[in-house]
Amino acid sequence: MSLSPSRLRTRLATLLPPAPTLARAGLGAMLVVAGVHKLLAPEAWAVYVVDWLAPWLVVSPRLFMLLNGPPEIAVGLGLLADRFVAVGATIAAVSLTVTTGYLAIVALTRGGLFADVMIRDIALAGLAWAVLADAVRS
């Protein structure tokens, strides 16, 4: 038996969680997975530190990524647990916005280097800001 588009829409509306819940869960899951991956493969993330940024870091790019993993996991778990959502979303939104700005500078000055990651991070920053907007309005 096939469903008409309107019946399918109604069925999906009853099955899917509310959009803010999906956004919070997606952002939280991304942060947890990224944080865990930074702990398991910090070299994979350290490649995003270009030569002019490295001197500004207090530690090596590898150690910087290792140090970023646990707080990223903590923020993600907080979002997944629906705890401190406004704080976690603020941290994620600001961090992802700054990261996107950094990647844009690198892309513009290095012939498009990391442009693909910047494009993805634009969406992730938007997601984080949407979660924050929902959290402060709730």
Per-residue pLDDT, 138: 87
User: Picking from 11-15, 66-70, 99-103, which range would have the lowest pLDDT averaged per residue?
Assistant: 11-15
In this prediction, residue 129 carries a pLDDT of: 98
* pLDDT mean over 104-128: 98
Of 3-12, 68-77, 80-89, the poorest mean pLDDT is in 3-12
pLDDT band, residue 49 (cuts 50/70/90): very high
* pTM given for the model: 0.92
Average pLDDT over every residue of 95-119: 98
DSSP sequence for the chain: -PPPHHHHHHHHHHHSPPHHHHHHHHHHHHHHHHHHHHHH-HHHHHTTS-TTTGGGSSS-HHHHHHHHHHHHHHHHHHHHTT-SHHHHHHHHHHHHHHHHHHHHHHHHHTTTTTHHHHHHHHHHHHHHHHHHHHHHH-
Average pLDDT over residues 2-25: 94
